[in-house]
Structure 1
């Protein structure tokens, strides 16, 4: 029998978007709405644009249980099944809650909460009657306003909060008793008639105030519908969850605060840890462990697993001016094996084991020493210092980078994002209109070179090793993508760019370096970021015959770049990168692999060194973290951000 979906509020916005998406996946779709004409219009559009589409448009007033029941029965009579129910109908409140002459706020409560309660009741009863409850999905469309308060819409927020609690309360029992999965979709502000109506009905000032928390950025209907469809298809993973879609495109599963003591006594002693839930969704423990684990380098070798081991160490007293950080995530970099090889200098001398491994991490402040007034307990922070592969770190407060939340995407902006941003501005001095070649372009660092060079007006050529990575690079704006496994880079550059390229952002080394060197235009620059192809074998000194002569006749330059030498620029460039991400101008691709726990660092390093990654590789250090973030390659809904 045909799979079918019943959707309320389907005449516009998210409901219409979900109807289009599900229809394209082969679902027969009922579009139920009080705006019958609008529902018919969307149904007709779907029928005309989707081959074999089956649709039914119905009048439905969700605050009238009889009206909803009639619509459900019409759906069942038409299609004979009921696999998915999406309760999307909603309205923003109008009127003043404290105006005794008006009760318009009550309709917001009825539509946004009572209408959902009716819908869930009828959906469960109908699925039970059909005998097809196993695998059924109910998805109320709530709102971020059901998780965070909306001062300008207290009744709307209260109603959506009721939907959130309803979903959490029903999740386990519906699954256990009937095999029905329920999950709430909670987007931040979406570009729909409901949100646009605030500006039209209440004025620009009210609309601006409403959108100020998201800096005016609206999600598109397509973004939210995409997440909704993934939830339907992966409902087993999110039973009873409330999935938050942020204006940045990030997808999160909030971890709800637990009970904590209210202490109104004077401030505690300097070394403190409180039970505080942060925006990173991690709860600061009441009692801190007195020991932790970390990865240290015990012998010099390019083989990371052979060079390192996990050790347990006692947590010392926190020094003055420092903070104790619970690391939730750590980033993996190609140069991790350079570090274990002893190629980098520490403290002005050669690296001699044992020493701590890892360059970057993000987490939350869980303790502090005396004299520290910069950061508060529970503050999400990022760090860029040796020892990132550790469950806890003690860091001078002034060296921490405060963040809005501790999340994997933050890691991508540290070593990788800062390398691209700072080197293009301060070392390569990229100009608009130049031709830029980026090697290993689909990696954690390459993705930022591509996007930032495009943003500066460059023509970007990007190399990669698979068609999937090629499609990803095209989506980032690359003008020419070269899959070196199916095309000759040397031939393409010679035939399509006979005048040469102005700038090469080189991350591969070896033969790739030679090819790029020969492709430089007069006055061209070759920016050496790394040599990932040589790291796993120890990065032996290279010899390039005729190098001085080639540079001479082209008036070309070789430019080296080592990120730690540019620490003075970190905060400014990181702020620029964060603004670009939040403004939708910069995409952060996370590698879809799921590495969890300190032990997973070994496999994560191996994964990157084998050239299997696409986007930033990272490890979730604490398996208890409940976070979800999707990247283009993530496939389904993962508990990561």
Structure 2
């Protein structure tokens, strides 16, 4: 009746290491009235979690040292004293990094098991897909024939952004960190893809790839790539600021060009956003994304790591660019207590 749990051992300085995490074997809980016992099937590892490991003020509270880390999880109800969640129900929610967890049902969303893979509800039909959907379509609003640039384009969010932009008739340019990822972006229909790690002059490469300038920029990365894109903005360009993974492990605030003058001269709009801003519209996003998946217009790559004990390694791999598409840890098969 053990229940392995992963805790935040200490707040990292710079890049997290294996010592950032601590494993603890706890007793498997028993549900009381109104509760369910959930067995973890898939765990999502995401770059935003790095921010929660520090104690800086942010849009969500930080993880507590000595307490379980939590994030997106697909789980199965294996014991139930809840009137609406029967044994065998598969759900997604924000849950602790534990093999088993208790819930009163709040914040859980049942997911169908007779459609797309259930892991998709942590990816293209979950937080990353919804981030791409609302960030691109509500903020960038690409028009047919416009040029859209996506940084971190081979990741869980960026790969969906690029495909949605193509669905809307845009010309799409993506940046990624390996030749394999560049080839993957071409398979997805990106018009141009750039390996920023092997490109000696990223500014020139982006200028060559965007001869008519940039109308929309979906920024997952920040840093030198973003600095270069700002020099290519067209009048009334729209920028969706989604992530800044290039700076997440920085111990000092990086100093770079100040963008305000470029935004002013081009009358461009820069909007930061968090996907939870659109929580009331999540059903709309899931419905539209599901339709495109079922129509074959939207494909999705998943990078799986096997085993509960590999969750920290999968998380650390995000910052080495080890994943293409969504990084997930498969913990268990469904229908097994």
Structure 1 length normalisation: TM-score? 0.48
Partners of 1:321 and 1:329 lie apart in 2 by 24
Residues 474-483 or 361-370, more deviating: 361-370
Q: 1:93-112, aligned counterparts within 5 Å?
A: none
Describe the superposition over 1:581-606 as per-residue Cα deviations: whole angstroms up to 9, x where unpaired.
22322111112xx5222210121112
Give the CA deviation at 1:476. Answer: 0.7
1:401 to 103, 106, 109: 109
1:323–1:481 Cα change, 3 Å:
same
Q: Does 1:600 align with 2:310?
A: yes
Give the CA deviation at 1:396. Answer: 4.1
Partners of 1:557 and 1:510 lie apart in 2 by 18
Q: Does 1:469 align with 2:181?
A: yes
1:440 to 152, 156, 173: 152
2:121 maps to which residue? 410
Q: Does 1:525 align with 2:238?
A: yes
Structure richer in strand, relative to its length = 2
1:491 maps to which residue? 204
Which structure 1 segments of 5+ residues have no match? 1-288, 627-641
Residues 423-432 or 499-508, more deviating: 423-432
1:415–1:549 Cα change, 3 Å:
same
Residues 503-512 or 484-493, more deviating: 484-493
Q: 1:270-349, aligned counterparts within 5 Å?
A: 289=1, 291-301=2-12, 302-318=15-31, 321-343=34-56, 345=58
2:98 maps to which residue? 390
User: Contact 2:42–2:73 at 8 Å: present in 1 too?
Assistant: yes
- Aligned pair count reads 328
1:519–1:568 Cα change, 3 Å:
same
User: Contact 1:304–1:340 at 8 Å: present in 2 too?
Assistant: no
SS at match of 2:322: coil
Give the CA deviation at 1:507. Answer: 1.2
Give the CA deviation at 1:478. Answer: 0.5
Structure richer in helix, relative to its length = 1
Structure 2 length normalisation: TM-score? 0.87
Give the CA deviation at 1:305. Answer: 2.3
Partners of 1:462 and 1:545 lie apart in 2 by 22
1:598–1:326 Cα change, 3 Å:
same
Partners of 1:503 and 1:320 lie apart in 2 by 51
Partners of 1:448 and 1:343 lie apart in 2 by 30
2:229 maps to which residue? 516
Give the CA deviation at 1:573. Answer: 1.4
1:460–1:332 Cα change, 3 Å:
same
SS at match of 1:470: helix
2:87 to 377, 398, 420: 377
1:613 to 319, 323, 331: 323
1:482 to 179, 191, 194: 194
Q: Does 1:580 align with 2:292?
A: yes
1:277 maps to which residue? none
Describe the superposition over 1:189-212 as per-residue Cα deviations: whole angstroms up to 9, x where unpaired.
xxxxxxxxxxxxxxxxxxxxxxxx
1:587–1:519 Cα change, 3 Å:
same
User: Contact 2:9–2:65 at 8 Å: present in 1 too?
Assistant: yes
Give the CA deviation at 1:560. Answer: 0.7
Q: Does 1:366 align with 2:78?
A: yes
Give the CA deviation at 1:496. Answer: 4.5
Give the CA deviation at 1:394. Answer: 2.7
User: Contact 2:91–2:111 at 8 Å: present in 1 too?
Assistant: yes
User: Contact 2:301–2:325 at 8 Å: present in 1 too?
Assistant: yes
1:486–1:297 Cα change, 3 Å:
closer
Partners of 1:355 and 1:420 lie apart in 2 by 31
Partners of 2:191 and 2:29 lie apart in 1 by 53
User: Contact 1:493–1:500 at 8 Å: present in 2 too?
Assistant: no
SS at match of 2:302: coil
Partners of 1:607 and 1:351 lie apart in 2 by 20
The structure with more radius of gyration: 1
Q: Does 1:501 align with 2:214?
A: yes
1:419–1:395 Cα change, 3 Å:
farther
User: Contact 1:439–1:507 at 8 Å: present in 2 too?
Assistant: yes
SS at match of 2:310: helix
Q: CA RMSD in A?
A: 2.5
Partners of 1:345 and 1:352 lie apart in 2 by 14
User: Contact 1:327–1:392 at 8 Å: present in 2 too?
Assistant: yes
Q: Does 1:549 align with 2:261?
A: yes
Give the CA deviation at 1:350. Answer: 5.3
1:68 maps to which residue? none
1:124 maps to which residue? none
1:568 to 276, 280, 286: 280
Describe the superposition over 1:124-182 as per-residue Cα deviations: whole angstroms up to 9, x where unpaired.
xxxxxxxxxxxxxxxxxxxxxxxxxxxxxxxxxxxxxxxxxxxxxxxxxxxxxxxxxxx
1:460 to 155, 167, 172: 172
